[in-house]
Amino acid sequence: MKKLIFILSILVLFSCEEEGILTKNVEQVPVDEELAVLKYSGTFETTSGISGEGKTKIFLEGNQYKLILEDYSIENGPDLKVYLSKSNSPDDFVNLGNLNPSATYLIPSSVNMTEYPFVLIHCQQYNHLFAIAQLVQN
């Protein structure tokens, strides 16, 4: 039994969860303030039990819509995503990726912006909605 405990201890010591350094990532393409035109904006309203505030803006730069978050301080959660949504609930949406307040999100060219009047912050892993921003056309 001593053998078992000893070997088990060694395994635990050497097998802790490891998260290394990210060595490959998509290069961020920031909004070009000279070329981009602000098309939509919105202010986040948090859902019950979630605190913080933030805004979102959508620019058109050439033929590419780009979404950014501004003054974003909504509390963090596991596996938060940014959705461009047809309604204020995550039923029919475009998943723009993991939440990163400093990121510029590229909206797929096939998206008809008039059909997606909401931006949602949603925890995909536990299916919990954190915040909703209704977009206003500028």
Name the site residues for other proteins (rule: CB under 8 A): 3-4, 6-8, 10-11, 14-27, 79, 81, 90-100, 108, 124-125
Instruction: CB nearer to other proteins: give 33 or 91.
Output: 91
Sign of torsion, CA 79 80 85 88?
A: positive
Instruction: CB nearer to other proteins: give 40 or 105.
Output: 105
CB of 6 to other proteins, least distance (A): 7
CB of 124 to other proteins, least distance (A): 6
CB of 70 to other proteins, least distance (A): 19
Look up tokens 């949603």; give the residue. Answer: 122
User: Quick one: DSSP state of residue 115?
Assistant: G
Query: Tokens at residue 95, please?
Result: 């998943």
| Cα–Cα distance, 85 to 115 (Å, whole number) | 8
